[in-house]
Amino acid sequence: MVLVLLSNLRRMSLSMAFISITLFPPRVARSRMVKTTLGYGVPATEMGSLFLEQPTFGLTIFLFTIASMVLSMSFKVMLFGASDSYSADEKMQVTVSLNHFGKGLVERMPRCRFGFIHVVNNDYNHWFLYAIGGTSHPTIISQGNRYSAPGTFAAKEVTCRGLLKPAQWKNWNWVSQGDHFENGAFFTPSGSPSASKQFGADKMMPFKPGQMVPELTKYAGPLSCRIGRPC
């Protein structure tokens, strides 16, 4: 089993396909990022200058958390799950937390197939089509995020379930709790409102109200650290 956290990165074009995901303390994660590889031979940079640009598709990881990143200028940002036919991804567990989704992002923040996705205390400052999407009945728990919709009327909805009809996704567990919506943004829920309790809410990352997200994410991105000195 591979346990990985991506933390405090700034990236311009991140497109990833994951199998599954979990949580590492930031200090442990940063040390383990050194000399690891992403995708097909795309190296993580040395500690102190963690930038991730133009990685290739093909990254396969079992447990994963994406935290404290600044993301911008990308069409398809994150994809979790190999395909709509690969049901083994039911075991996937993903946490996306404390990230800043900035200018130039279009969709998939993330897009999910199967699995359990916890989206917590992120700052969604821009999207062109949608922010969070999915097919193949993933469970998506959105807690304490700030969603600021674009000016385009057709793109106010945070969520996207492709071209499926409501009868096909009405039982999927997509829940919004403590989120803050701006500029007409809205989240379309489905399934059980108490889905987070069904999946062990006591073991999930705790969240703060969405109004606090700007303060919570102000240190997202690369840290200004030097070897031998406190960050």
What amino acid positions are annotated as catalytic residues? 108
Sheet holding 132-135, edge to edge: 17-18, 79-80, 111-113, 132-135, 159-160
In 10 A of CB 129, how many CB atoms?
Answer: 17
Beta partners for residue 37, in sequence order = 43
Round to whole Å and give the CA distance between 99 and 221: 8
**How far, in Å, CA of 223 to CA of 139, rounded?**
32
Three-class secondary structure of residue 134 per DSSP? strand
Give the CA distances from residue 200 to residues 43, 118, 141, 204, 213, in Å, rounded to whole numbers and listed in that order: 35, 12, 12, 7, 24
Q: Which among 180, 176, 183, 185 is positioned nearest to 211, based on CA atoms?
A: 180
Amino acid making up residue 97: S
| Dist CA 155 CA 20 (whole Å) | 29
